[in-house]
Amino acid sequence: MSTGDLSQRLLAHAVEITVEQGPSVVSLREVQRRAGVSPAAAYRHYRDREALMAAVSAHAAAALADRIEPAVASGWQAGCRAYLEFAVEHPGLYRAVFSTEPGVLTDDRAFALLRNSLDARGITARWSDTTVWAACHGFALLLLDGPLRNLTGRERVAARERLLSVLAAGLTSSRYE
């Protein structure tokens, strides 16, 4: 087995644990056990848990961006819907996107896709992209861990559409420029 293969296999096991139980449960020991390798072999690829989790975060961020990319062709709201669907369908991966060192986003392609979809529709007021990102991220966390976690599917869609409607009204209003 080549070194790249082992690195990818270790990452695949870490992603698997993240999907199953969330990023906080991932340990190098468990990844090594699942891969059937010694600690020395694993440490040649990931110096510590933080390095492994940075790779998991990058993988998760790429998956989020891959989910958003085809949607934004239909507009920023479609991109937001894809963002929120990803969070609900893949909570472990979604949490992993933001689980690395504070302030470090391993892959900002999802943010760039949302920003570009706003720009393409002439929504260029300062902080519009951050407003959309913050609204989506906050709503996702409320759905996953907050008071909105018990909403039915229908209620979740209604709340999401109201959020997008309010965002659209604010983003197109000259009052907030």
Q: How many domains does the chain have?
A: 1
Radius of gyration of the chain, Cα coordinates, nearest whole angstrom: 18
Percent of the chain topping pLDDT 90: 80
Quickly tell me which residue has 């990803």 as its tokens: 86
**Which of these, 148, 16, 128, lies nearest to 80 by C-alpha position?**
128
C-alpha span between 8 and 14 (Å, rounded): 10
Burial class (CB in 10 A: 0-12, 13-18, 19+), 117: buried
The whole-model pTM stands at 0.90
Range of the domain at 169: 3-176
Could you give the CA distance from residue 150 to residue 172 in angstroms, rounded to a whole number?
Answer: 32
pLDDT single digits (tens) 40-91: 888 889 999 999 999 999 999 999 999 999 999 999 999 999 999 999 999 9
- Write down how long the chain is: 177
Supply the mean pLDDT for the chain. Answer: 91
pLDDT at residue number 108? 86
Rounded Cα distance, 76 and 115, in Å: 8
Q: What is the CATH number of the domain that holds 8?
A: 1.10.357.10
